[in-house]
Each structure stands twice: as structure tokens, then as C-alpha cells.
Structure 1
Amino acid sequence: MRRLIPSRFLRYVRPMTNARDVLASFRALPVTGIEALTGTGPLLVLAPHPDDESLGCGGVIAEACARGETVYVTIVTDGAASHPNSQTHSRKRLQSTREQEVLAAVAELGLPPSRVSFLRLPDGRAPHRGPQFKDAVATLTRFARDNAIATICTTWQHDPHPDHLASFRLARATARSLGIRLFSYPVWGWTLSSRTWLPRAETDGFRVDVGAHLPAKRRAVACHKSQIAGLIEDDPAGFALSHEFRAIFDGPFETFIRS
């Protein structure tokens, strides 16, 4: 039988997995308590944009706060590119607005503002490598060391958004430098279609039952008014979290993948 790929190239071939199967495996992951994330020490939630912390980890943040566990939130980008055509909200104003939205959101989850920090990397252009990437890793490493972070949670590396991949790479570099645990949570990954194939997609992880905190999580998501509707009206092409997308995160479980 004739080979379709010359043998000398086989070592470069990576196995692929259909996204539909990967997401189905996520929905079947075992359910565990939050101690799987916080049992070894303080938790850092690294979110690419203001709102990702509430969508992907809002329930876990609320549960950690309710149990008196130590959790921090760091936002990677400035979030200033969501409405580029707005005349009422310049990039500087939008950055400030979105940071205030984060503080209001995490307050609904029980987290004090002193536990929130901002890297303010450019929205849509968070670095994947190079000097700016190294500087961000150094900042995160210092923060994690100073606060005895034991676990980092960030967005899934297969989320179809460059800033989400950048956040994963920042978290991975930081976790490796300190020898601490890394988990990832899907955000835009939940929207991948069956036409998408993923290389070496990890499926080892668990789900955390956050049903008791859904009301607080909904309030937290609603705090991100600039990303929902009504606050910025002069940029029809601006970004908005649709009701259908927000509904993905309105269930009793949050998913975490061992990375």
C-alpha cells in the first residue's frame, strides 16, 4: 500500500481531534469541589479581558470567597478595542470604564478590589512572544511569588481568540518558572463547531459545581454593561456579548482542564 505521506515527514504529523468530541468530553468530566483548585494554596485567575473572569470563573471566585479561600484576579488586556468607532468612548475612557466594571463584577462575587490587578496589554494584540511577553511573564512571576500563588487558571489554549491564547501562554510560562499548577477554562472554545479540528487537545480535568452562586455570577456578568448593550450606542459595529453566548455560562458547572 502506497504511503500518502513520506516516512521522513511522519514525525511532524500531529494527531487531530474533532472539537465536537473534545467539548462533549468536557461536559462529561467528573464533578468535584473547589478544593481541587484552592486546596494547595492561593488561586490566581488570569483573564484575557474584563468579563472573562465572570464568564469562565465567576462561580469559582464566589465559592472561594464564601469559603474564605484566597483568590486573586489579573486582567491581561486593557479591553479598549471593543468599540473602535465610538466618539463618546475613547480608548482611554473605555479602558477606565471596563476596569470599573471588573471591580463591580468581582464585588458581586465577594472579592475585594485589592485582589484585582491589571496588566493593561493592548486589547486584540496581547503578545505571544518577544520583549513585551517576557516583561509580562516577569510581572506575573513576581506577583505569583510574592502572593504564594499555588494554582493559575486562565483561558483554554484552543479558545479561538488571539488574546486568549496569549493569556494561556503567559500563564504557562509563569507556572513553569515557579513549578506551580495550571488549569484552563474554555470561553470562546464552547462555540467551536464540528468542522474544527484541534491538535493534541487535552481532556483531563474536572467540573466544579457552582449552582449555589449562579445569582451572584449573573449579577457579575451584568456589571459588564459596555459589553452587553445600551451603554455605548454610537458604534453599531462594536463588540457585544449576545444573550445566546452569555447563556452558555448560565449553568451549574464551570469546567477546568489540566494544562
Structure 2
Amino acid sequence: MAFVDLSMIWQPLEQAAMRRLWRRLARRAENRTQEMSHGDCLILAPHPDDETLGCGGLIMRKREAGQRVHVAVATDGGATGATGAVSGMLGDDMIKLREGETIAACALLGVSASHIRFLGFPDGALSAQSVGLEAQIVALVQELSPSEIFVCALHDGHRDHVDLARVVRQLHTADRLGGATLWEYPVWFWDFRSWRPEGLSNKAGFVAGLRNSSRSARHLKAVALDLDGIVQRKRKALACHRSQTGALEGELGWSGLPASFLEFFFRDRELYFEIARTRDGATKR
């Protein structure tokens, strides 16, 4: 009897569900390109490469308009799937490599190395660093006085993304972000695993994930930033993150981020969610 890899059946369905989620949000999204191209900002990225994936177009638009953009990367990126997959590369080597990749990518987007901060928290362990993370973010806000702050989406699913977004939302609710407008940008939001509860069968997990993503789509209101004329430069910037694209020499057993995931970041627009502060806490609007 031939073995059937059930993941080959469910993965296309999950990918189709994510494409449907993107279309649903994009269809209703107001184009705010002109407005979002202005205003100094701080980009908070959980890992090296998230700044490019989620905000590459935004960074370019703001820099073209002469706005200040600072990027702060929360974790050191040492736990990437490429660590150990590259012959002879240790964790410290990967950390240095990923810092260099970020500097190169940001240079293409228009941000100099002097405007990038590496906070250096251990990759995969932000949940244990919330006090230190909070202190560093507050210090950055006090130093830079950005008018806007962009952080990964709370719905991203990945634990570092969720932890960073949660800390920033808490600071926003407590009015500790200097009055800056807070935005979230989706990254792992476009991976079905962010919506699918763990421990369920393929069918039950798919149904639950579909229900969760559909429910969120009904309540989320995205705004759009047009990528017309700059998509290829965003691709080149992401290509600088060679450890994440499977392009490292000697890389074994790690083919990089899948094309079915990356497609969401090279469409005709980027999507963002504005976070409002209320008495009951920070909520999307």
C-alpha cells in the first residue's frame, strides 16, 4: 500500500485559505499611501528580516519623502532554521551574519546602519525578557520621539512576534509610547499555523483555523500602502537576508522561507492595522 503524505492534501487548502484572507482584507482596505509616507517612525521587528518582510515598502516610501526611519530588532536571530544547517556555523556566527544581512537590507531600503538598533534578546525567548524589552522600547521612544511606531501583529502566531506585540500594546495602553500612533504589520499572520489550534487532527485543525481567520477578518480593518514601482527593490532587500532564503553557501537541510509564504509580501500593497488606545485596552480599529 502506497504511503500518502496527508500534509500534501491539507497544505494547499491552508494556503488557499490564507490567500482568501488576504483578498478579503485587501478588498476593504483604504489606500493610505500618501498619509503613511509621512511621519518619522520606529519599526520594531522581532527578528532580522521582519522589518523587510512587513515594512519594506513603508520604509522606502517614508525615506523617499525625507522622513526619519529607525529600525530596532528585538532578538538576535540565532535560532533561525539555518543555524546548524550550515556547515561549521555556530550560533554566534549566525547572529553576526544576520546583523550584517539586516544592515545590507536596510541600506537598500534607505536606512543607514546608524539608524538600526539590535536589542540582542535571545531568539525564541522574548517571553522571559518582557521587563528588559519594555525598558528598552521605552528608552528608544524617549530618545527618538517617533510620531509612529510599527510592530508585528498580535495575530502573527510566532511566539516572539506575539510577545513583542503584546509588550508594545501594553505600553500603548499605559500611554508610554510618547503619544505615537501605533500600527501593526502582519508577517506570520499569513501562515495558517497562526490560526490553527495545536493538538487537533488535520480536518479539525483546518476547520478551526478557517473559523478563527474568518472571524478575525470580519473584525479587522486594514489600511493599504501601495507598492507600485518598488516591489523589485523590496525583493532585492529581502535577498540580502540570505540565511532566510536558502542562499547561503554550504546550507544543508534548510531551503529558506517557502515561496507560498513569501508571495504575500510582494503583492501590489502592504497591509497595516492601526491600534487605538481605549480605557479597556488597545484594540484594532
- Normalised to the residue count of structure 2, the TM-score between the two structures is 0.75
CA distance in 1: counterparts of 2:265 and 2:244, whole angstroms: 15
Q: Deviations over 1:57-89 (max 9, x none)?
A: 101101111110111111111111113434521
Q: Deviations over 1:205-232 (max 9, x none)?
A: 3001022211210110100101111315
Name which structure has the greater RCO, CA cutoff 8 Å, separation 6+: 1
> What SS class does the counterpart of residue 270 from structure 2 fall into?
strand
**C-alpha contact 2:190 2:261 (8 A) present in aligned 1:** no
One of 198, 216, 236 as aligned partner of 2:212:
198
What is the Cα deviation at residue 174 of structure 1? 3.4
Q: Deviations over 1:134-182 (max 9, x none)?
A: 1111111111111111211111111121111112113223334134321
Gaps of 5+ in 1: 1-17
Corresponding residue number in structure 2 for 1:145: 142
In terms of fraction of residues, the more helix-rich structure is 2
The CA RMSD over aligned residues, in Å, is: 2.3
Corresponding residue number in structure 2 for 1:114: 114
What is the Cα deviation at residue 251 of structure 1? 1.2
CA distance in 1: counterparts of 2:227 and 2:255, whole angstroms: 28
- Is 1:209 equivalent to 2:226 in the alignment? yes
Q: Name the aligned partner's letter for residue 177 of structure 1.
A: R
One of 45, 48, 51 as aligned partner of 1:47:
45
Aligned residue-pair number: 236
**C-alpha contact 2:18 2:191 (8 A) present in aligned 1:** no
**C-alpha contact 1:152 1:171 (8 A) present in aligned 2:** no
Between 239-248 and 18-27, the greater mean CA deviation after superposition = 18-27
> What SS class does the counterpart of residue 149 from structure 2 fall into?
strand
> What SS class does the counterpart of residue 158 from structure 1 fall into?
helix
One of 57, 67, 70 as aligned partner of 1:72:
70
Does the C-alpha gap of structure 1 residues 84 and 214 become closer, same or farther in structure 2, counting only changes over 3 Å? closer
Does the C-alpha gap of structure 1 residues 256 and 214 become closer, same or farther in structure 2, counting only changes over 3 Å? same
What is the Cα deviation at residue 55 of structure 1? 0.9
What is the Cα deviation at residue 35 of structure 1? 2.2
What is the Cα deviation at residue 249 of structure 1? 1.0
Corresponding residue number in structure 2 for 1:81: 79
Gaps of 5+ in 2: 1-16, 196-205, 276-285
- Is 1:26 equivalent to 2:40 in the alignment? no
**C-alpha contact 1:25 1:203 (8 A) present in aligned 2:** no
Corresponding residue number in structure 2 for 1:4: none
**C-alpha contact 2:148 2:182 (8 A) present in aligned 1:** yes
- Normalised to the residue count of structure 1, the TM-score between the two structures is 0.82
CA distance in 2: counterparts of 1:172 and 1:150, whole angstroms: 16
What is the Cα deviation at residue 235 of structure 1? 4.0
Corresponding residue number in structure 2 for 1:164: 161
What is the identity percentage for the equivalent residue pairs of Structure 1 and Structure 2?
Answer: 31
Between 174-183 and 52-61, the greater mean CA deviation after superposition = 174-183
One of 203, 213, 219 as aligned partner of 2:236:
219
CA distance in 2: counterparts of 1:233 and 1:61, whole angstroms: 32
CA distance in 2: counterparts of 1:66 and 1:230, whole angstroms: 29
